[in-house]
Chains A and B, each alone.
Chain A
Amino acid sequence: MATVETRNIRKSFGSVQAVNGVDLSTKEGEFLVLLGSSGCGKTTLLRMIAGLEKPTSGEVLIAGEVVNEMPPRARKIAMVFQSYALYPHMTVFKNIAFPLKAQRMGTEAIRQKVEWAAGLFGIELLLHRKPRQLSGGERQRVALARAVVREPAVFLLDEPLSNLDAKLRASARDELQQFQRRIGTTTIYVTHDQVEAMGLGDRIAVMQHGKVRQIGTPMEVYDEPADTFVAAFLGSPPMNLMEGKDCLVGFRPEHFLPKEAFPMTGAAPVPFRVTRLEYLGADRLLYGVLERPFPEQKVIARLPSTVSIPIQPGERYEFVVQEKDLRFFDRDAGHRTEARPLVAQFA
C-alpha cells in the first residue's frame, strides 16, 4: 500500500494547458475521486500518475518516492480504462494472467492468483471465454480482476462505470466500493458523474480548467463549496445564486421551501412566483422567479414528496431559507466569504 502525491504538476499539449499546477495528496488506503466535466484535465492527471504521460513540470510521488522518470511498469500501479482495454485475442484467463507473466511468475502460481482474482469478482466460469463473448458488466469485472491480480500499491480507475447501463452502474458502484474497502488499496478514481463521486469517494477533488478547485469529503464539497464553480457544479439542480449588494448569496434548491414547512423559524419570507412545475415522483422541482425586494431572478426549489403543500404554476408563494443554509461568495473572484445578514443584501 502507498500514498500518491503530486507537486505543482503541469501538462501542456502545445498551447493548451491540460493540467495547470495540481497539488494533491492521498491518504493511506483512501478512495479519492477526481471529478470534473470533460476536458478539465482529470484523465491527463491520472495518466501522469500512471506514467503514461510525461508531466511538463512538477513531480509525481508514489509511496514518498519521486517516480517521474519511472516507466509505468515500475510504479506498482494498476489501471482500469474506460474502454476496459481487454486484450481481444486472449481468453479471460490469459488477460488476467498477463501482468503476472510479465513478472515471470511460475505457471502454478499464476493459475492460483488468477483463480483468486476471478473469485473476487465472481467470474470463475468465464475464464475460457474471449472478451467479445462477454457483456459490458462482465468485461468490467475482468478489467478489475486484471488490475487486482498483482496486488498493486495504487489503483487508478478512469471512468470504469461509464460504459455500463444505468441499472448495472448502481450495483457495480456498490460492488466497487465494498471491494475497495476490503482490500484497502489507495484508489484514485476519475469520473464526470457527481453521483458516482459523492457515493464512492472518501474525498473528492473537483477540477476545472486543469486546476483543483476544492478537495474535501463529499459532505464538505457539497455543503461548504469553496467557490461558485463548485457550488454550481455539484447538486442537481445546482445551487441557486442571487446577486446581493456586495456578494453572491447561494442556497440549495432543497433548502428553499414553502414557509409552512418551517413553522418555527423566524427567517424572512422570500416571495417566489412559480412559473413551471416538474413532478419527479420523489420530489417536485419548482422553477420560478423571485419578487421584490429580491432581484427578479430565476431560482429553483426542490420539494421532497413529504412536503405535500399544493403548488400551482403561475401563483405567488412565500418561501424561506434558513440562515444556516445560506452561503456567501465574493462577487468577482467567486470564492467563499463570511456569512452576513440576508436582509441587508437586498434592502
Chain B
Amino acid sequence: MKLVQGTAPVKVASRRVTFAHLRDREEWLGPLMIAPAILYIVLVVGFPFFLAIYYSFSDITLGSRSLGFVGLKNFAAVFGNTNFRTALWNTFVFAVGSQLLVLVLANMLALALLKDFRGKWFFRLLILLPWVAPISLGTIGWLWILDSTYSVINWTLQALRIIGPKARLIWLGVPYLAMGSIITVHVWRLLPLATVIILAGLSSIPRDIHDAAQVDGASFWRHYFQITMPLLLPVAMVALLFGVVFAFTDMTVIYVLTRGGPYDTTQVLASLAFFTGVVGGDTAEGAAISLYLFPLLLAVAIAFLRIARRSEVT
C-alpha cells in the first residue's frame, strides 16, 4: 500500500509509528516478521558454514593460535587417508541403502493408510511416534534392543528356534550386522516423515484418475507404476531429498550405537569429521572432511528439485 506523499496528515502519522500503523505498512511489516528467521539462519547456519569453509583451507588445530592459509592441502591429505575412503564408501552405502528402504516402506505404509479401516487413527499415531520421540532417546532404546547380552531380538530368535539356544548375534560388533543395524534404526527414524509426505501426495491425486485407470483395464502394478508413481514423483522427490541430505549429514544414530566401529566399518563422513575435528583436535582436517560432500549434495538437491518441478502436474 502506498501513501500519498506531501500532505500534512501523512507526515503526522509517520512520526508516530505505533504498531497499529505498522500493521498497515507492508513494506515494514514484511521485513520485520521475516527478520528473526534470517537472523537465525545467518547466526546458526551461515556463520558456522563459512567458518568451516575458511578453516578447511587453513592449518588451524584445536590448540594452535595461528591461522595460516594452506590452500587445498587438507583436502588432498584427507583423500590420501584410507580411513576417509572407507568412510566415504560407508556414507554411500548408509545413505543409499536407508533411502531405498525408506522409499519402498513409506510407499507401502502410505498406500495401506490411504484405505479406510477400523482403528486407522491408531496406526497413524503409532507410525508417527518415532518422529515425535527425541532422536537420541529413541536410539538409546535401540542400543538396548541391539545389546550383545540383553538383545530382545536374540531372545525372540531363540524362542522361535531360528537360532540355537546358546547362539548370540552381536548386532553392533560384527561389520555387516552393524551396518545393517544402523541402517535399520535410521530407516525407523525417517519412515514417519516420508510416510506422511507420501500420504499427502497420494491423497492429492484426484479419485477420477484412479477410477479411469481402473476402467481402462490397468492391473495393480500397471496402475501403480504408470499412474500413481509418476503423479507422486514431485512429492516423493521432496521426501527423498530430505532423506538423502539427512543420511549424508547426520551422525546421531551412529554416534550413539557404534561410534563408527567395529574397525571403522560404520564410520561415515559426518562422524569421521566429528572424531577428527572435535575429538582429535585437527579442526582444519575435520572441516575439510565435512565439506567434502557439499558440492555433491548441492548438485543432488538442485537435480531433485528440477525433476520435481518438471514433473509437476496441473
Q: B-contacting residues of A (Cβ < 8 Å)?
A: 47, 50-52, 71-73, 77-79, 81-89, 98-99, 101-103, 131-132, 146, 150
Contacts and interface: CB of A to CB of B under 8 A. Distances in A.
B313 interface: yes
Contacts of B216: 73, 78, 98-99, 102, 146
Interface in B134-150: none
Given A88-B314, A89-B231, A89-B311, A71 B214 contact: yes
Rank and list the top 8 A-B pairs by shortest CB-CB distance, nearest first. A73-B217, A85-B208, A88-B313, A85-B212, A102-B217, A99-B216, A132-B314, A89-B230
B227 interface: yes
A99 B313 CA distance: 21
Contact of B219 (A50, A52, A102, A131): A102
Contacts of B213: 87, 98
Interface of B: 206, 208-209, 211-219, 222, 226-227, 230-231, 311, 313-314
Contact of A98 (B211, B218, B219, B314): B218
Nearest to B314: A132
Contacts of B206: 83, 85
**Majority SS at the chain B contact face:** helix
Which of A81, A86, A89, A150 is most buried by chain B, counting CB atoms within 10 A of its CB?
A: A89
B148 to A, nearest CB: 50
Contacts, number: 68
B210 to A, nearest CB: 9
Contact of B211 (A79, A86, A89, A99): A79
Contacts of B212: 79, 81, 85-87
A86 B208 CA distance: 9
17 contacts: A51-B214, A52-B211, A71-B214, A73-B215, A73-B216, A73-B219, A78-B216, A81-B211, A82-B208, A83-B208, A85-B212, A88-B209, A88-B314, A89-B231, A98-B216, A102-B218, A102-B222
A4 to B, nearest CB: 15
Contacts of B218: 73, 98, 102
A47 B210 CA distance: 13
Contact of A79 (B215, B219, B227, B231): B215
A89 B208 contact: no
A146 B212 CA distance: 10
